[in-house]
Amino acid sequence: MQPTEESLQAPKKLPEENSALVLFVLIALLLALFAASFAWGRYPISLGQLFRVIEAKITGVPSGLPAAMESVVFNIRMPRIFAALLIGSALSVAGSTYQGLFRNPMVSSDILGASSGAGFGAAAAILLSLGLTGIQVSSFICSLAAVVLTLLVGSIVERDGRSSGLSLVLTGMVVSTLFSSFIAISKYVADPEEKLPAITFWLMGGLSSVGARDLRIALIPMAIGFVPILLLRWKLNVLSFGDEEARALGLETSRLRIFLIVCSTLLTAASVSISGMIGWVGLIVPHLARMLVGPNYSILLPVSALLGGLFLLIVDNVARCAFAVEVPIGILTSIIGAPFFVYLLVKGKKGWT
Amino acid sequence: MDMKLSLDNVACGYPGKTILENLSLEVTTGEILCILGPNGVGKTTLFKTLLGFLNLHAGRITLDGENVQGWSRKRLAFTIGYVPQAHIPPFPFSVLDVVLMGRTARIGFLDSPKKHDREIAARALETLGIAHLSRRVYTEISGGEQQMVLIARALTQEPRFLVMDEPTAHLDFGNQVRVLQKVRQLAALGIGIVMTSHVPNHAFLCSSRVILIQRHGIFKTGTAEEIITEENMRETYGVNVRLSAVLNESGTEIKACIPLLVQNPLEDQGLLAAC
Amino acid sequence: MKPLPFSLRAALRLLLTAGALGLGLPQTAPADPASRTVTDMNGKVVSIPYSVNRVGSTGAVNQMVLMLGTPWKLTVVSPANRDNRWMRRVYPGIAEAAAPFSGSDVNMEELIKSKPDAIFLIDNSGTHSSFKSLPKLQESGIPVIQVHLRTPEEMKQAVRLVGETLGPQERQNAERFCQEYDAILARIRAKIAPLPCGERLKVYRAGGINGLTSEGGNTITTSWIEEAGGINVVAAAGIQALGASITMEDVLQWNPDVIITMGVAAKEAVLARPEWKSVNAVRNGRVYVSPVGVYQWSVRSAETALQNLWAAKVIHPELFPDLDMNAEVRHFYQIYYGCELSEAEANEILNPPK
């Protein structure tokens, strides 16, 4: 091909050529914020006291400080910090994966109905007074059930067995709407003084209910979902070129696609079942990551994970520290996410959004 | 060593609807086969079948006599590469990343491309004369360049055959010629090429063999000279053409198919020239 | 009654609005003998049929209707009310009531079909403060009477307003309830008032699935906590909101002596979670579930009258050794609902199951 004048111009730097720097900065920021988050909170703990509490925990020698202080550091702040990191990462990785699988940068982690399913599971459990653990288990199961329903209906819609992705996305929307109406029914029959506020509270999302034990349990499906995606991440590049091209390049797309959907769904379901509905993270973080390092999943996926954790940790620190009354984290992510999304649309740089 | 791709009495189409029947043809590595025919006669169906995207309704496809039915996608990708029409992918990959995807079948299931693969990709870019595009963003280069990148990607796959879907569609005149030149060059390198086209002249230019698909599942195969006749063109496309020949600088005769427009445009029945 | 001069009427309305007078007096002699008017707690004069036989509301007000002697007038409720075990116990007929209300919305056709004479709406009470369908309701021509339920005074005023709307007999029953309510408060105050500041215990009301939803200042919760000789730690921290999300770190800092939960789920969360272990109330085993009768005692219904008593005994048991809550419950249900509860039933109200 004759080099045209334009093509001979020195190409501008590709975003992925910044990846080493971006990775370094992200990890540094993450470590710094991780450490700092232990010092922030509404219960006053000085840095000196913080170190004494941690020292006491490590050495086993009593610090002489109030028991409440140790509880604040290890029972409140630590699980929340880890929860924010893990859930932020999980939702972002799931969102990135879905965007590649469905070749659609506008889909997010809840595209197949996982969030609405989880919401209904939680609402039902609250109605049945199942307690915190019951709520988490029920929302996890219903979240998976919603996605399974989407896949089943989707496979009927696409009878020739090959998935174009679009009908699955549309089916996901239908199933989401269905489960949203189940949520509405639950709210309709809920007692307005006790149960209804509890359902509303759960739906708005928050990490205040996440304990260390819940996190340890949620870590299992998260790891099962995360590791395969990380190992297969380069293949997502190929899948994002569409089914026929990916098949011609040598991928058994149907099996791979279902496998990756299952993994992403595990990530999403495990997250929303302990945090409630946290929107936008799975949509905007992948975009942000793509702006930083480009679309190649080899680097995009790890950067999404780091950025998602960082983002949710920042937001959750605001949610738990800034005001006397805790702000639901889902509301904060929407407040940040919606304008950012408009910015993406306005910016409209071809192919980047 | 030459390899032969054959279709024996193939019937193909979509589930529940057979479009072409009793089709037999052969392509050997180093040869160019051009699929000609008007819109909607089954060109796309034929090569989707060839690539295994559609199931055979009857007959068989063989590579050196071995039935490819039941081959894994990976094994098929070792032999046949696919060059789709240039389109805009959802994400702005760099040209090198796009070309590297050709290595999918050649690397391990959990691997990503290594240095060795990058070298192969770079070689493919060089073969096609687009090494300078390597660090550009695929979505920001021209249509002709994108087509070249997709050919480079298929080459990176190291296939024996390339199946190309209208490689010259949507390209300006210069780029059409450049793409055809590369197609011939690839054939000369020993790659068998199956391509669809709307331009009979391209078959002459590539001195290829032709399968002409007409309405109602009728098809003719042969050399370009045998198939692209004034009568066949009229039968197939419903337009009048005149064949002519010019000599190139080395004195070889090159045929051309020139559409004859109706002299009084008002008498034109709305038939547009296909050439 | 002779028409009052305009200025006097205006002054009266002002007084009513300020909540200084606890009842909506008829404003003028009815021009149409088939109708009369009441003034709701927003100061709005509402014209209602002379005889009111079909009323309803979204929640707590329904409890008030049930306790004024003519429960059969309650014909429009919410699904939660209709399925409420104790509402069914005191008035089985509630199973036949229409249930067009849900949350802050109403199914208009269902409502109109049930032909109510008047509808009560709870304004500023938190859960229904933004009643979505209010404009629709007002357009429908069904009389809408708005009540506030933020303080005991407003609560009593609301009971009187409900009584007045229903008719003379109910009005009298409402008056009797208000007197009894005052008597209950007087009984408690006699013991609590002498209490020095230092002996008022820090109380945290825990709600929600994780025990971190509570109510702040200027709410009925703060009122019964204070009447019962406690300090609402949330209000003391300057938080005003209803249904406020509290942070666990704040709870640890406040370190309440007594925790009263709304619902068993909240109590279980509080007892199960390690972060609550260092809280005084948990360490001393002083976590209690608020009773639930016809309505949640801890919020905005007239059964809050009993909550004052119960909370006083829970927070300061040493001051009320002779107070028999089981007997009080049976007495209340017998007088106001005409319902003879067994001791076991009263006990179930006092110790609500899941």
Check CB contact under 8 Å for A326 and C272: no
CB within 8 Å: B132 and A290: no
Q: How large is the greatest C-alpha to C-alpha distance in chain C, in angstroms?
A: 68
- Which chains sit next to A, with 3 or more Cβ pairs under 8 A? B, C
Which residues from chain A sit within 8 angstroms of residue B89, using beta carbons?
Answer: 103, 240-242, 351
Domain stops at, among C180, C204, C221: C180
**Is C245's CB within 8 Å of A327's CB?**
yes
Cα–Cα separations (whole angstroms), residue A274 to A32, A140, A206, B43, C236: 25, 8, 9, 53, 31
Residue from A162, A244, A249, A296 whose CB has the most chain B CBs within 10 Å, to mutate: A249
Residues B233/B237/B241/B246 CA torsion (nearest 10 deg):
-60
Give me the residue from A76, A126, A328 closest to C249, CB to CB. Answer: A76
Statement to judge: residues C264 and C152 lie in one domain: no
* Position C192, amino acid: I
List, for residues A38-52, the tens digit of each pLDDT value: 999 989 899 999 999
Question: Does the beta-carbon distance from C248 to A66 stay under 8 Å?
Answer: no
Rounded to a whole number of angstroms, the distance from the CA of B76 to the nearest CA of chain A is 7
Q: Is C130 on the interface with A (CB under 8 A)?
A: no
Residue A73 has pLDDT above 60, yes or no: yes
CA distances from A224 to A227, A264, A298 (A): 6, 10, 19
The H or E element containing residue B220 is strand B219-223
Give every strand in the sheet of C230-232, ordered side by side.
C230-232, C201-206, C258-261, C287-289
pLDDT tens digits for range C188-234: 999 999 999 889 999 999 998 889 999 998 888 999 999 999 999 99
**Best CA proximity match to A93, nearest among A210, A276, A268, A269:** A268
Partner A contacted by C233 (CB < 8 A): no
Number of A to B CB contacts under 8 A, please give it. 128
The two beta strands, B80-83 and B161-164, are parallel
- pLDDT exceeds cutoff 90 at C312: yes
**C188 in a domain, yes or no?**
no
Confidence of residue A155 (pLDDT cuts 50, 70, 90): confident
Are C89 and C159 members of one domain? yes
**pLDDT average, residue stretch C132-153:** 82
C221 lies in the same domain as C141: no
d(C-alpha B98, C-alpha B121), whole Å: 9
A-facing residues of C in 283-322 (CB < 8 A) are 295-296, 299-300
Does C186 map to a domain?
Answer: no
Same domain? For C137 and C216 the reply is no
Average pLDDT of span C150-156: 85
Whether C187 is covered by a domain: the verdict is: no
Q: Which chain A residue lies closest to C248 (C-alpha atoms)?
A: A76
Give the per-residue pLDDT at C354. Answer: 78
Q: Taking 70 as the threshold, does the pLDDT of residue A98 lie above it?
A: yes
Residues 197 through 256 of chain A touching chain C, CB cutoff 8 Å: 197-198, 201-202, 206, 208-209, 211-212
For residue B253, the tally of other CB atoms under 10 A from its CB is: 10
Best of A129, A191, A216, A331 to disrupt the C interface by mutation (most C CBs within 10 Å)?
A191
Please give the pLDDT value at position B262.
Answer: 73
How far is CA C326 from each of CA B11, C322, C329, C333, C350, rounded to the nearest angstrom? 87, 12, 5, 11, 8
- Asked whether residue C337 is domain-assigned, the answer is yes
Per-residue pLDDT averaged across B2-18, rounded? Answer: 90
Q: Which residue has the higher pLDDT, B212 or C26?
A: B212
Q: Which CATH number fits domain B4-228: 3.40.50.700, 3.30.365.10, 3.60.21.10, 3.40.50.300?
A: 3.40.50.300
Q: Tell whether C189 is covered by a domain.
A: no
Q: Which of B139, B144, B148 shows the shortest C-beta gap to A351?
A: B139
The more confident residue out of A131 and A175 is A175
| Same domain, residue pair C227 and C154 | no
The SS3 assignment for A128 reads coil
Query: Does C343 share its domain with C217?
Result: yes
C279 Cβ under 8 Å from any chain A Cβ: yes
Residue A83: what residue type? A
Which residue on chain B is closest to A296 by alpha carbon?
A: B93
For residues A165-182, one letter each, b for 16 or more C-beta atoms within 10 angstroms of the residue's C-beta and e for the rest, the string is beebbebbbebbebbbeb
Angle at B90 between CA B86 and CA B91, to 5 degrees: 105
Tokens describing residue C239: 């938080």
Whether chains C and B touch (3+ CB pairs under 8 A) is answered by: no
Which residues touch B162 (CB under 8 Å, ≥6 apart)?
Answer: B80, B81, B82, B83, B151, B154, B155, B186, B191, B192, B193, B194, B195
Three-state SS sequence of chain C: CCCCCHHHHHHHHHHHHCCCCCCCCCCCCCCCCCEEEEECCCCCEEEEECCCCCEEECCHHHHHHHCCCCHHHEEECCHHHHCCHHHHHHCHHHHHCECCEECCEECHHHHHHCCCCEEEEEECCCCCCCCCCHHHHHHCCCCEEEEECCCHHHHHHHHHHHHHHHCHHHHHHHHHHHHHHHHHHHHHHHHHCCCCHHHCEEEEEEECCCCCEECCCCCHHHHHHHHCCEEEHHHHCCCCCCCEEECHHHHHHHCCCEEEECCHHHHHHHHHCHHHCCCHHHHCCCEEECCECCCECCCCCCCHHHHHHHHHHHHCHHHCCCCCHHHHHHHHHHHHHCCCCCHHHHHHHHCCCC
For residue C342, tell me if it sits in a domain.
Answer: yes
How far apart are the C-alpha atoms of A350 and B16, rounded to whole Å?
Answer: 40
Structure confidence by residue, pLDDT tens digits, A206-224 = 898 888 888 999 999 999 9
Asked if B218 and B196 touch (Cβ cutoff 8 Å), the reply is: no
Are C134 and C209 part of one and the same domain? Answer: no
Q: Write out chain A residues lying below 8 Å of B172, CB-based.
A: none
Has residue C275 been placed in a domain? yes
The minimum CA-CA distance between B73 and chain A, rounded to whole Å, is 5
Mean pLDDT of C331-335: 95
In a domain, C190, yes or no: no
The shortest CB-CB distance from A192 to any of C103, C237, C274 is to C103
Neighbouring chains of B at 3+ CB pairs within 8 Å?
A: A
**Average pLDDT value for residue range A78-83:** 95
C250 and C320 share one domain: yes
Structure-model confidence comparison of residues C150 and C349, the more confident one: C349
Do C176 and C301 share a structural domain? no
Number of domains in chain C: 2
Q: What is the mean pLDDT of chain C?
A: 86
Q: What is the pLDDT of residue A5?
A: 56
List chain A residues with CB under 8 Å of B79. Answer: none
Query: What does the pLDDT look like over B73-117, one tens digit per residue?
Result: 999 999 999 999 887 788 999 999 999 999 999 998 888 899 999
Domain extent, residue C165, equals 6-180
Which pLDDT band, with edges at 50, 70 and 90, does A348 fall under? low
Structure confidence at residue C23 (pLDDT): 45
Over 60: is that where the pLDDT of B275 sits?
no
Predicted complex ipTM: 0.89
pLDDT digit string, tens, across residues C48-103: 999 999 999 877 899 999 999 999 999 999 888 888 899 999 999 999 999 988 76
| pLDDT, average across residues B196-216 | 88
For chain B, what are the domain ranges? Answer: 4-228, 237-275
User: Residue A23 has which token pair?
Assistant: 């990775």
Neighbours of chain C (3+ CB pairs under 8 A): A
Cβ distance of B73 and A250 shorter than 8 Å: yes
Quote the CA–CA distance of C50 and C168 in Å, as a whole number. 11
Q: Give the C-alpha separation, A147 to C104, whole Å.
A: 31
Residue A2 clears pLDDT 70, i.e. is over it: no
Mean pLDDT for the stretch of residues C314-332: 95
Same domain, C139 and C12: yes
Q: For residues C224 and C308, state if they share a domain.
A: yes
CB contact under 8 A, C253 and A201: no
CATH code for the domain of C302: 3.40.50.1980
Of A246, A249, A295, the CB nearest to B92: A295
pLDDT band of residue A3 (cuts 50, 70, 90) is low
3-class state of residue B169 by DSSP: coil
Distance CA B163, CA A248 (A): 10
CA-closest candidate to residue C148, choices C118, C166, C121, C170: C121
For chain C, say whether A131 makes contact (Cβ under 8 Å): yes
Q: What average pLDDT does this structure show over B119-144?
A: 92
**B66-75, B215-224, C283-292, range with greatest mean pLDDT:** C283-292
Q: Tens digits of per-residue pLDDT, B232-256? A: 999 899 888 999 888 888 888 888 8
- The reported pLDDT for the residue numbered C243 is 80
- C148 token code pair: 């506030």
Torsion of CA B137, B139, B145, B147, to 10 degrees: 130
Q: Are C232 and C222 in contact (CB under 8 A)?
A: yes
- Scan for tokens 């360490």, then name that residue: C283
Q: What is the pLDDT of residue C126?
A: 41
The CB density around residue B119, as the number of other CB atoms within 10 Å, is: 10
Residue A67 burial (C-beta neighbours within 10 Å; 0-12, 13-18, 19+) = middle
Tell me what pLDDT residue C219 has: 85
Helix (H) / strand (E) containing A29: helix A19-39
What average pLDDT does the segment B46-71 reach?
A: 91
Question: When comparing pLDDT for C241 and B110, which is higher?
Answer: B110
Give the per-residue pLDDT at B267.
58
Check B53 against A250: CB less than 8 A apart. Answer: no
Output the pLDDT for position A163.
53
Closest CA to C94 of C114, C71, C113: C71
d(CA C26, CA C15): 14
